[in-house]
Amino acid sequence: MTEIKTLLLFALTAVAEILGCYLPWLWLKQGASVWLLLPAVVSLAAFVWLLTLHPSASGRIYAAYGGIYISVALVWLWLVDGVKPSGWDMAGVVVCLLGAGLIAFQPRA
């Protein structure tokens, strides 16, 4: 799997996970409809399925995914919650993405 496909799969996986957690949050904290739990379950099921599509379901892949998840979560913060990430947030994303890249794309013997 190419690096671009891997990154896109990581991003899609992160969106499914965030959406699956965000919808119950809306119900519990914002008084939204309990019916949001249905798409939340579908989204979390998609998240689990997407994890199976990664090149290797190992701790290394999940560790690298964590860096992408953090990045997507901050994009979500900006686009959905309307809160612009701070410079510190962006610096943290850079560090996380560098770490994720080192973990995911290290030379393999």
Q: Please check whether residue 88 lies inside any domain of the structure.
A: yes
The whole-number pLDDT of residue 86 equals 97
Q: Please check whether residue 13 lies inside any domain of the structure.
A: yes
Q: Tens digits of per-residue pLDDT, 8-20?
A: 888 999 999 999 9
Is there a contact between 37 and 27 (Cβ–Cβ < 8 Å)? Answer: yes
Q: Please check whether residue 68 lies inside any domain of the structure.
A: yes
pTM to 2 decimals?
Answer: 0.84
Q: Tens digits of per-residue pLDDT, 23-80?
A: 999 999 999 999 999 999 999 999 999 988 877 656 778 888 888 899 999 999 999 9
Sign of the torsion angle spanned by Cα atoms 74, 79, 84, 87: positive
Q: Please report how many Cα atoms fall inside a 13 Å half-sphere around the Cα of residue 95, on the Cβ side.
A: 6
The whole-number pLDDT of residue 109 equals 73
Domains in the chain, number: 1
Q: Please check whether residue 28 lies inside any domain of the structure.
A: yes
CA–CA gap between residue 93 and residue 62 (Å, rounded): 17
Q: Please check whether residue 43 lies inside any domain of the structure.
A: yes
The whole-number pLDDT of residue 1 equals 54
Q: Please check whether residue 82 lies inside any domain of the structure.
A: yes
CA–CA gap between residue 88 and residue 8 (Å, rounded): 25
Smallest Cα–Cα separation from 16: which of 39, 48, 38, 47? 47
**Domain span including residue 48:** 3-104
Q: Please check whether residue 109 lies inside any domain of the structure.
A: no
Q: Tens digits of per-residue pLDDT, 74-103?
A: 999 999 999 999 999 999 999 999 998 888
Q: Please check whether residue 19 lies inside any domain of the structure.
A: yes
Contacts of 83 (CB under 8 A, 6+ apart): 77
